[in-house]
Amino acid sequence: MRSVAALVAVVVVVLTALLVGGPAEAATSGGLRLELSDVSPRVVTADGPTTLTVTGTLRNDGPDPVTDLEIRVQRGNPLTTEGQVRDALNGDAATDAVAPQFTPLADVLEPASEVRVSLSVPLRGSSTTGLELGSAGVDELLVNVNGTPAGGSRARLAAVRMLLPVLGLPGAATGPVRTAAPAPLTVLYPIADVPHRLSTVPGAPVLLDDDTLATSFAPTGRLGGLVAALAQRAPLSSPVRSAICLAIDPDLVESASVMSQGYQFLGAGGVPTAGTGAAAAGQWLAQLSAVAKGGCVVALPYADADLVALARGGLTDAASRAIITGRQVLLTLLQTPVANDIVWPADGLIDTSTLDVVEAAGGRSLLLSADSVDGRARSGVVPLARRSHPIAALLTDPLLTSAATGRRGPTAAPGPGAAATAESLAGERGPVSTQDLIGALSFRASAGTPLVLAPPHNWGAEGTGAADLLDAIGTLITVGDVTPAGLTDTLAATNPAAPAVRADPPVEMSVISGAAIGAVAAATRDLADLRTAVVSNVGVGITADQLFAPLDLGVLRPSSATRRGSPTDAQSAASVELSRVDAIRNSIRVLEPPNPYSLGTSDAPLPITIANSLPVTVRVRIEIVGTSGLRVTPIDMQQIPPLGRRQVSVNAQVTRAGQFTVEAAVRTPAGGLLGPPSRLRVRSTAYGTITGWLTAIAGALLVVLTARRVWRRVRGEQNRQTARVDPTPPPTDDYPTGPTERLPLLDTTLPHTRLPSHAE
């Protein structure tokens, strides 16, 4: 048994060494990070370069120096099945079929330092010096850095993996002969970003949460690079452009438009600071408008809103607004036709309740992932079952989407004795981010079935990566592997006889968190309540639609699908938006006077001032909570002018003298509180009701007592006058007739008291 266990242990060790690239790589990582800036060629062709060149930078982010650094490029066996391609994209495939010798890179790399990487290897050649490519297909490459960390053994300390498509062998007399027809290719080209704009009322300065869009809109930024690559590598008359349909976020375009007029962003400490990207935003918008004219354009939901999360949260009106209004915004700003019935939900996933919203919003053609529907269909156009209106779904390729997305979630750090994990650049912000997508597209093209390339809406491609992808598509068209197919033409090829499918998204589908959607729902309710107070058609200020249209769209930004998988970010954005709506509602309030109100009489009017900082006329209710010293009669609805104030005289009755505090608030006609209640101090010098009654009673008692005293005096005087005129003699007592008893005399002698003398 011990011998069997030992044999199993040996097999496990050998397999582990093979999977990680050899025994020299099975050790701890040294805190190194390999960043590739270029790989050339991106597609191997018969008439292309004969060597593969990799350039980049190796950085030491660890606390200790690393010595004896070496590098090589190795490859696995050609990938022939979809399962093998998926394993490669997940980093689970072996990459040691051909492993040339290592090339010295640096003797030592100190902490917080870096070294330039530049390595060229023959694409063919022998296995000791080159990659030994022997046939067309798709291979997985591994850029492998070995070294010795401080206190450790030699190990693989950094690695980057990627797919390399081989359309022909360099130097070969003839290329491979294709027997299948070219695969029809439709490419969706997303232009979107995480929403950065915060809600403000019309007339207020445009406010962003940061100034990152200024960098991204610049020609060297991600968004600037996406548009520039399209203009340079896929002009309107080119075959590549005929396969492309732009999918644009209306909120991003609207943000560029308002930023070009000047804007602010929240700087240090949340202080509004002047933005620096007005010129870049204007130039980017002008270039995008020029590129979009004459081509296919589809509007993403406004702010790339998560339609599924909104529908599940009961915000169907908001989801519908994201579709309909978003399309109108894009049409107005770009001044070019926008497809009016095509909807592309985030990740191409949708459920039945969301499909009802899309249908009600006029969606008749959907771009869905093949993983989002039931049935056997994996490509082409299929009808959706049990709909009130005919709705067609164009199925996008999940494998291509996965290759453009990359591995989601954090990568587990290797433990002691383990080799560094091979990183994938797919989905990252960098020039090599589209290499896996190029390889997966070449793999799919060999099958000849219709292809729809649908990257994530907020994909990681920037200028260089997008340009390389467009060049690769052009190469595939040139060699006859694919043929361009426009989106509208592809959708028009619906087969009515095809079996209908139902929306069936994966159970583990990621959506915006319920807490964030709850905050969005609260902000939506608050805006609806505020709308009941707005008076339209009064001839001053702006209309209700002009005020609420941008606010209703603004509450969609926290629900952006770009925040899927980041519940903390989504919740934070929703909380910020809710606070912005609260601040707008607080623009209508009762002003607190600096000094107490003085009331001289019991029924003196109480003056209340209501301020309205909104550019619309509002009709509100004033509510004053009475106290034991003050009673207030009901107050009629009050109309407050835009950006103004109004003083209202409130009928009040004072019930006692002194100083006391009352609370005054403003409410919408629907009862919602506008602004925080204000505390009003009131000083009364008037007699209240109780004091008046006490005074009256005291006065009455005084009168009664005075009258009684007068009456008694009058009666007493009358009695004295009667006594003086009475002739009847007073009665006399009879003296005793017996002997008289002599009483002893009272001794009135005082005891002798000695008075003190001055001498004493």
Per-residue pLDDT at 168 exceeds 60: yes
Express each pLDDT in 389-421 by its tens digit: 889 999 999 999 999 998 765 555 555 545 778
Residue 297: per-residue pLDDT: 97
Query: Do 592 and 679 form a contact (C-beta atoms < 8 A)?
Result: yes
Helices (H), 532-591: 544-554, 567-585
Residue 689: per-residue pLDDT: 54
Residue 360: per-residue pLDDT: 94
* Residues above pLDDT 70, as percent of the chain: 83
Report which of residues 322 and 30 the model is more confident about: 322
Per-residue pLDDT at 30 exceeds 70: no
CATH classification code of 588-689: 2.60.40.10
Helix (H) or strand (E) run with residue 445 in it:
helix 435-445
Q: Would you place residue 386 in the very low, low, confident or very high pLDDT band (cuts 50, 70, 90)?
A: confident
The whole-number average pLDDT for the span 274-299 is 96
The whole-number average pLDDT for the span 657-684 is 84
Identify the CA nearest to 580 among candidates 492, 640, 666, 519. Answer: 519
- Alpha carbons 346 and 306: distance in angstroms, whole number: 7
- List, in sequence order, every residue forming a beta bridge with 103; answer none if it has no partner: 71
Write a three-state SS string for 5-41: HHHHHHHHHHHHHHHHCCHHHCCCCCCEEEEEEEEEC
Residue 501: per-residue pLDDT: 86
Express each pLDDT in 447-478 by its tens digit: 888 999 999 999 989 999 999 999 999 999 99
Identify the CA nearest to 692 among candidates 601, 591, 588. Answer: 601
Burial class of residue 402 (count of CB atoms within 10 Å of its CB; 0-12, 13-18, 19+): buried
Token pair listed for 31: 């805190």
Residue 494: per-residue pLDDT: 72
Mean pLDDT lowest for which of 136-145, 294-303, 377-386, 732-741? 732-741
SS3 content of the chain, % helix, strand, coil (to 5): 35, 25, 40
Q: Would you place residue 209 in the very low, low, confident or very high pLDDT band (cuts 50, 70, 90)?
A: very high
Q: Would you place residue 706 in the very low, low, confident or very high pLDDT band (cuts 50, 70, 90)?
A: confident
* Domain boundaries of the chain, sorted by first residue: 2-166, 514-585, 588-689
Per-residue pLDDT at 9 exceeds 60: no
Token pair listed for 16: 């582990």
Residue 402: per-residue pLDDT: 94
DSSP codes of every residue in 339-388: -SSEE--GGG---HHHHHHHHHTT--EEEEEGGGB-SS--SEEEEBSS-S
CB atoms within 10 A of CB 1: 5
Q: CA neighbours within 13 Å on the CB side: how many for 196?
A: 26
- List, in sequence order, every residue forming a beta bridge with 190; answer none if it has no partner: 247
**Residue type at 349 in one-letter notation:** L
- List, in sequence order, every residue forming a beta bridge with 117; answer none if it has no partner: 56
* Residues above pLDDT 90, as percent of the chain: 62
The whole-number average pLDDT for the span 373-399 is 88
Q: Would you place residue 299 in the very low, low, confident or very high pLDDT band (cuts 50, 70, 90)?
A: very high
Report which of residues 235 and 27 the model is more confident about: 235
- Alpha carbons 688 and 654: distance in angstroms, whole number: 6
- The SS3 call for residue 476 is helix
Q: Would you place residue 188 in the very low, low, confident or very high pLDDT band (cuts 50, 70, 90)?
A: very high
Residue 6: per-residue pLDDT: 38
Residue 18: per-residue pLDDT: 34
Token pair listed for 541: 């200020």
Per-residue pLDDT at 100 exceeds 70: yes
Angle at 633 between CA 627 and CA 639, to 5 degrees: 115
**Residue type at 30 in one-letter notation:** G
Residue 736: per-residue pLDDT: 47
Per-residue pLDDT at 734 exceeds 60: no
- Alpha carbons 511 and 310: distance in angstroms, whole number: 9
User: pTM of the entire structure?
Assistant: 0.83
Residue 565: per-residue pLDDT: 86
Identify the CA nearest to 557 among candidates 570, 542, 540. Answer: 570
- The SS3 call for residue 308 is helix
The whole-number average pLDDT for the span 172-187 is 80
Q: Would you place residue 719 in the very low, low, confident or very high pLDDT band (cuts 50, 70, 90)?
A: low
In CATH, which of 3.40.50.970, 2.60.40.10, 3.40.50.300, 3.20.20.70 is domain 2-166? 2.60.40.10
For the chain, the average pLDDT equals 85
Query: Do 55 and 441 form a contact (C-beta atoms < 8 A)?
Result: no
Express each pLDDT in 325-361 by its tens digit: 999 999 999 999 999 999 999 999 999 999 999 999 9
Express each pLDDT in 603-647 by its tens digit: 667 788 999 999 999 999 998 876 666 677 788 899 999 999 998
Q: Would you place residue 741 in the very low, low, confident or very high pLDDT band (cuts 50, 70, 90)?
A: very low
- Alpha carbons 144 and 148: distance in angstroms, whole number: 14
Residue 690: per-residue pLDDT: 56
- List, in sequence order, every residue forming a beta bridge with 52; answer none if it has no partner: 121
Q: Would you place residue 498 in the very low, low, confident or very high pLDDT band (cuts 50, 70, 90)?
A: confident
> Within its chain, how far is the Cα of 131 from the centroid?
46
